[in-house]
């Protein structure tokens, strides 16, 4: 056997492993059968950079835009020294005092100018001398790396001598050496942070101003021509400019509310939102497309598959982070994520929705938080909720894949969908809570609310999943020993009984259920296995509604059966007692209880039982929840002069009303435009002990402002159970201020 043959036998595939290149990084040697082939390649890093799509707004190379540049189509002889009369730029003024009020961006706590695309802004350029007709200069706006006019990442606004890019510009006024230039970005311009240069063209040389981050331009949505424009001014103020929100929680019969500080204008939040867009690797050139932007952003708000902002936790162990109920708003979460690069622990649906709402409003996209009570989670995609029961009427949780949440929060964004029929424009559902994957990522939407209402589930994106959340039927099945399922009860009205959001300009609840669904029929009782009608003329007159009860308080469950027939009826009922999370998932099962009730003809019969959560099935099914809430009142008192830039004080005071000590207590205070997120820790608060905590702050913004105080206690989680985490850990108190 020859040496070459021996050598070839050492390779099992068609192509061999690369041979060591002896330090030459641009040569890779492969052996192909008996022959040796040499491929000469460029530096791999250089090769990748040549074809890489820019996805970073905040990270770039200053060398992409040099101070001096020659025209490519002309020779480059040695130039003479500039003449004394050569035009040069002395100063660039972004005229923030004029532009910010006109663009409603005064509230942004940032040194750069923030404008809204499609609306004119002005800049003042001061030269070394008055300009003449022959002078040629241009303003250049650059975003990302490798800027290109064809991709909209390099925008050139000329002085009028020649044609520029899609952004229009005109000289409004000349004042000696200064020129006031009006510039109008296009309505579909890229959303993000632009670097600004002023270039003077002389002969075959372009001379630019040096890089100056003070002239950076933040460009965001919402003028009249924009795809996200809301015609109603009150709605624009509420869904873009309002920093204070209310998120509804609880149960459809006992709706509660929690204050949420969106804080989209707080220091560092704007750059944090841009950094998040960079992290989810949205190509710079596509950030003018709002549909793609919100869809990809909904994936990065959760950390399920892309190391995003928040870690979801629907269990009871929050020892590795903060309980979802401890957050007062979005600002602290976003800043912590950007500063550490590590997903923040922990969140549940309302936290995901609150943080996503901040990101959307910060970018100028109208957004609001929606709460859907009795929200269905269809994990099989069949647009219905299948609940499985055993033959003894107890619930078979092992084989039940679907679930019904007490409530679920998501977001709506207002977009004119040019990719869909015209009636599908308007409010769109987007959901950052990781429930199911969509195109390989845990995200949802944007889904047209109008399409969901009309059952047009073919339109992108994820309309079927949202339709099931608000409008699916509950189908109860019995499963025999062989695994055969037989449906015995259908409820068409339980899911999506109430869909609501905060009202415009008021701290009230707005019912928007009619936006998602038409009125429909009632419960259907199916024929059983023996083809007999199920419990004819028997119905529940009253099952003790969802209540909020205090800790250690007994709960009496009263069940009223009504017999509408002319003969007495005997009903066999099954009661199941469990501790559940608000997602409908069982935390622990307590016990089952069977009982029989005889209901006289045309009368009602009441059955009393001390139970917490019950499910009755005898050809009938019913669920009811009780919320165990803590009662620790946190009082907030504000003192000082109600004026911008004047020192004020806020005091939070509280008393432990229980007979046991409170462990690891954290009190948090926050108010958008007033005071940043502050916390105070108490290791133990003894029974009946009182504490107070005072913080000073200086109001930054005028107008109606709110301060929220939250108290979190570690040991209440074990005592208060897990049925509604939104109320088991905290008590919120707010104080409303009018700052002048």
pLDDT tens profile 157-166: 997 778 888 9
Q: Taking a C-beta distance cutoff of 8 angstroms, is the pair 100, 113 a contact?
A: yes
> Of 614, 629, 644, which residue sits at a domain end?
629
Active-site annotation holder among 408, 500, 625, 629: 408
The CATH number of the domain holding residue 558 is: 2.60.40.10
281 and 166 in a common domain: no
Residue 56 has pLDDT above 80, yes or no: no
Tokens of 273: 């939102």
Report pLDDT for 689.
Answer: 92
Lowest mean pLDDT among 33-42, 564-573, 624-633: 33-42
Residue 503's pLDDT band, with cuts at 50, 70 and 90, is very high
Residue 225 falls within a domain, yes or no?
no
For the purposes of burial, counting CB atoms within 10 Å of the CB of 251, is it exposed (0-12), middle (13-18) or buried (19 or more)?
buried
Residues 564, 504: one domain? no
Active site annotation includes 431:
yes
Q: Which residue has the higher pLDDT, 721 or 565?
A: 565
Find, among 654, 645, 636, 676, the residue nearest to 261 by Cα. 676
pLDDT band for position 61 (50/70/90)? low
Tokens 């005109």 -> residue: 170
**pLDDT tens digits for 250-303?**
999 889 999 999 999 999 999 999 999 998 788 898 899 999 999 999 999 999
Looking at the fold, whether 30 and 100 belong to one and the same domain comes out as no
What gap in Å lies between CA 400 and CA 396, rounded to an integer? Answer: 6
* Residues 349 and 467 occupy one common structural domain: yes
Same domain, 25 and 103: no
Please name the residue ranges forming H helices in 403-519.
449-453, 463-471, 513-516
Mean predicted confidence (pLDDT) in 47-57: 56
73 classed as catalytic: no
Looking at the fold, whether 373 and 497 belong to one and the same domain comes out as: yes
The encoded tokens of residue 44 equal 């791999």
Residues 401 and 418 in one domain: yes
Say yes or no: 490 and 595 in one domain.
Answer: no
pLDDT at residue number 9: 36
Assess if residue 481 is contained within a domain: yes
Q: Residue 300: which residues within 8 A CB-CB, separation 6 or more? A: 276, 277, 279, 280, 306, 308, 309
Can you tell me the distance from the alpha carbon of 99 to that of 438, in angstroms, rounded to the nearest whole number?
A: 40
The answer on pLDDT for 584 being more than 70 is no
pLDDT of res. 654? 87
- Mean pLDDT computed over 521-539: 45
Q: How far apart are the first and last CA of the chain?
A: 96
Place of tokens 């003028």: 223
Question: Does residue 701 sit within a domain?
Answer: yes
pLDDT band of residue 608 (cuts 50, 70, 90) is low
What whole-number distance in Å separates Cα of residue 109 and Cα of residue 360? 17
Domain shared by 613 and 692, yes or no: no
User: Does the pLDDT value for residue 94 go beyond 50?
Assistant: yes
Mean of pLDDT values over 219-240: 87
Instruction: Output 612 or 54, whichever has higher pLDDT.
Output: 54
Q: Does residue 401 fall inside a structural domain?
A: yes
The whole-number average pLDDT for the span 82-101 is 89
Q: Say what percent of the chain tops pLDDT 70.
A: 76
Distance CA 62, CA 65 (A): 6
Read off the tokens for 98.
């004029």
Residue 344 has pLDDT above 70, yes or no: yes
What is the C-alpha to C-alpha distance for residues 275 and 335, in angstroms, rounded to an integer? 11
Alpha carbons 481 and 391: distance in angstroms, whole number:
8
Distance CA 354, CA 348 (A): 10
Q: Retrieve residue 408's tokens.
A: 């679920």
Residues 109 and 171 in one domain: yes
pLDDT confidence bin for 719, thresholds 50/70/90? very low
The count of domains in the chain is 5
Residue 157 belongs to domain spanning = 62-73+86-220
Task: Tell whether 359 and 476 lie within a shared domain.
Answer: yes
Task: Look at 5 and 330; give whichever has higher pLDDT.
Answer: 330
Q: Which of 4-8, 250-254, 279-283, 597-601 has the lowest mean pLDDT?
A: 4-8
Residue of 273, 280, 349, 500 marked active site: 349
270 is a domain residue? yes
CATH of the domain at 250: 3.90.260.10
Average pLDDT in the 671-693 region?
92
pLDDT band at 658 (very low <50, low <70, confident <90, very high): confident
Q: Same domain for 621 and 638?
A: no
**Chain centre to alpha carbon of residue 603:** 51
408 is catalytic: yes
Catalytic one among 259, 386, 402, 431?
431
């Amino acid at each position: 056997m020859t040496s070459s043959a021996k050598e070839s036998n050492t390779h099992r595939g068609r192509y061999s492993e690369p041979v060591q290149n002896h330090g030459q990084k641009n040569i890779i040697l492969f052996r192909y059968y008996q022959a040796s082939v040499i491929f000469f390649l460029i530096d791999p890093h250089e090769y990748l950079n040549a074809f890489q799509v820019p996805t970073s707004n905040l990270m770039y190379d200053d060398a992409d835009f040099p101070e001096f540049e020659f025209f490519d189509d002309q020779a480059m002889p040695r130039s003479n020294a500039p003449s004394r009369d050569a035009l040069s730029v002395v100063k660039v003024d972004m005229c923030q005092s004029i532009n910010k009020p006109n663009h409603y961006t005064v509230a942004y706590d940032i040194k750069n100018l923030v404008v809204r695309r499609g609306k004119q802004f002005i800049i003042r350029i001061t030269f070394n001398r008055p300009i003449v007709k022959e002078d040629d200069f241009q303003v250049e706006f650059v975003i990302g790396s490798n800027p290109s006019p064809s991709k909209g990442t390099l925008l050139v606004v000329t002085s009028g001598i020649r044609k520029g890019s899609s952004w229009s510009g005109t000289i409004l006024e000349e004042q000696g050496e200064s020129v006031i230039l009006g510039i109008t970005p296009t309505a579909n311009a890229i959303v993000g942070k632009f670097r600004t240069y002023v270039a003077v063209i002389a002969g075959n040389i372009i001379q630019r101003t040096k890089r100056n981050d003070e002239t950076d331009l933040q460009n965001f949505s919402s003028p009249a021509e924009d795809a996200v424009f809301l015609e109603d001014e009150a709605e624009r103020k509420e869904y873009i400019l309002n920093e204070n929100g209310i998120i509804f929680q609880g149960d459809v019969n006992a709706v509660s509310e929690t204050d949420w500080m969106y804080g989209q204008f707080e220091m560092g939040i704007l750059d944090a939102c841009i950094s998040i867009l960079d992290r989810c690797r949205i190509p710079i050139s596509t950030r003018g497309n709002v549909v793609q932007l919100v869809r990809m952003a909904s994936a990065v708000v959760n950390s399920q598959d892309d190391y995003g902002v928040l870690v979801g936790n629907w269990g009871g162990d929050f020892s590795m982070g903060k309980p979802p109920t401890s957050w007062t708003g979005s600002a602290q979460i976003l800043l912590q994520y950007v500063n550490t690069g590590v997903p923040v622990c922990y969140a549940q649906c309302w936290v995901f929705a609150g943080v996503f709402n901040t990101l959307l409003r910060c970018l100028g996209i109208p957004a609001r938080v929606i709460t859907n009570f009795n929200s269905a989670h269809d994990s099989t995609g069949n647009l219905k909720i299948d609940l499985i029961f055993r033959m003894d009427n107890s619930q078979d949780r092992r084989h039940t894949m679907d679930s019904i949440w007490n409530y679920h929060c998501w977001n709506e964004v207002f977009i004119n969908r040019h990719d869909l029929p015209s009636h599908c424009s308007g409010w769109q559902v987007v959901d950052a809570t990781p429930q199911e994957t969509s195109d390989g990522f845990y995200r949802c939407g944007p889904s047209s609310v109008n399409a969901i209402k009309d059952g047009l589930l073919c339109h992108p994106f994820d309309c079927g999943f949202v339709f099931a959340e608000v409008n699916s039927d509950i189908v109860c099945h019995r499963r025999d020993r062989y695994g055969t399922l037989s449906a015995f009860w259908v409820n068409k009205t339980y899911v999506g009984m109430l869909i609501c959001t905060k009202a415009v300009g008021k701290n009230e609840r707005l019912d928007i259920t009619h936006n998602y669904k038409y009125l429909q029929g009632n419960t259907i009782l199916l024929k059983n296995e023996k083809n007999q009608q199920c419990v004819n003329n028997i119905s529940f007159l009253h099952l003790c509604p969802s209540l909020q009860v205090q800790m250690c308080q007994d709960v009496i469950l009263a069940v009223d059966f009504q017999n509408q027939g002319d003969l007495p009826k005997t009903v066999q009922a099954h009661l199941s007692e469990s501790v559940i999370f608000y997602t409908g998932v069982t935390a622990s099962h307590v016990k089952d209880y069977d009982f029989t009730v005889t209901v006289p003809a045309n009368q009602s019969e009441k059955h009393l039982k001390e139970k917490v959560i019950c499910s009755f099935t005898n050809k009938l099914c019913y669920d009811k929840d009780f919320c165990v809430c803590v009662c620790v009142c946190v009082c907030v008192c504000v003192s000082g002069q109600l004026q911008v830039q004047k020192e004020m004080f806020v005091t939070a005071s509280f008393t432990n009303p229980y007979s046991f000590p409170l462990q690891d207590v954290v009190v948090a205070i926050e108010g958008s435009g007033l005071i940043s997120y502050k916390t105070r820790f108490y290791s133990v608060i003894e029974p009946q002990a009182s504490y107070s905590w005072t913080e000073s702050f200086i109001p930054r913004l005028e107008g109606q402002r709110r301060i929220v105080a939250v108290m979190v206690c570690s040991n209440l989680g074990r005592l208060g159970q897990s049925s509604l985490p939104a109320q088991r850990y905290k008590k919120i108190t707010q104080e409303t201020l009018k700052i002048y």
